[in-house]
Structure 1
Amino acid sequence: MSIHDIIEGKKQWRAHTARVKSLPQDYQIVYKEIQRYLFKVGPTDLADGPLLPGVVDFFEEGAAAGKGVLELVGNDVAAFCDDLVKDSRTYADVYQESISEEPGTAGK
């Protein structure tokens, strides 16, 4: 990864967080909970993938339509997150695979 890639990544992240900050307060709170949950158990390609920007798009559309954030995600934010990543390889999957391997076969 070159310095240019790092700088470009930071610019993209700052633009992403600016979009989040432009959401209504209740949307921001739920977004931060989703982000926290996904950073812990989410897909292995979370940093490079379209998931978080897609959530912001979804929230912007909901806010523009005048809907409350819980109308969009429901009362169980963790279940909403689990549904988002149900077909993705998660860090939990990686961990489960690592403890399932035969002792001494890691990396083979």
Structure 2
Amino acid sequence: MSDEEKSGFISKMIGPKKRWWAYKARVKELPGNYRTAAEAIEQYLMYFVPTDGDSNALMFEDLADLLEQVAANGTPIREVVGEDPVEFVEAFVQNYSEGGYVPPRARKRLTDAIERAAGENTGKEGKTVS
């Protein structure tokens, strides 16, 4: 894959780079548990087939909007994502993408990360999302 092809693929995955970096800066400013949730959801979203760069950029921007609002209101993570974070993310992404295959390992990683972000006892406290 040439550098131009790689750049095109990356743009389809994350959208225009300027918008991506603006999104990343917003996530960095979130309180710790909301940032952990955002990063876990972001990682999971990377499994979905990109439709176009603008649609995907909008998806990440909307995720940042949502998490900024709930953080400002002090809404617990679990009230946002519910008991099944996979179901939440897959419903969220339906507004932006055709979807894709998500391996079971990625589903478990998302679920575990949201449990940590929600402050639930998973036996994995102190570990970071990989």
Query: What TM-score bracket applies, with the shorter chain setting the length?
Result: 0.5 to 0.7
Partner of 1:11: 18
One-letter amino acid of the structure 1 residue matched with residue 73 of structure 2: A
Shift of 1:43: 4.3
Partner of 2:121: none
In the alignment, does 2:70 pair up with 1:57? Answer: no
One-letter amino acid of the structure 1 residue matched with residue 51 of structure 2: D
Give the number of aligned pairs.
Answer: 87
Partner of 1:81: 89
Q: Give the match's secondary structure for 1:91.
A: coil
Stretch deviating more after TM superposition (77-86 or 20-29)? 77-86
**Would the aligned equivalents of 1:20 and 1:56 in 2 still touch at CA under 8 Å?**
yes
When normalised by structure 1's length, the TM-score is 0.67
Whole-Å separation in 1 of the counterparts to 2:93 and 2:18: 26
Q: Give the match's secondary structure for 1:56.
A: helix
**Would the aligned equivalents of 1:43 and 1:85 in 2 still touch at CA under 8 Å?**
no
1:46–1:57 Cα change, 3 Å: farther
Partner of 2:43: 36
CA RMSD, Structure 1 to Structure 2 (Å) = 2.6
Partner of 1:45: 51
Shift of 1:68: 1.6
Whole-Å separation in 2 of the counterparts to 1:74 and 1:15: 27
Q: Give the match's secondary structure for 1:48.
A: helix
Q: Where does structure 2 lack aligned partners over 5 or more consecutive residues?
A: 5-10, 102-130
Shift of 1:11: 2.5
Shift of 1:75: 2.9
Shift of 1:46: 6.3
% of aligned pairs identical? 32
* Shift >4 Å, 4+ stretches: none
Whole-Å separation in 1 of the counterparts to 2:72 and 2:20: 23
Query: Based on CA coordinates, which of the two structures has the bigger radius of gyration?
Result: 1
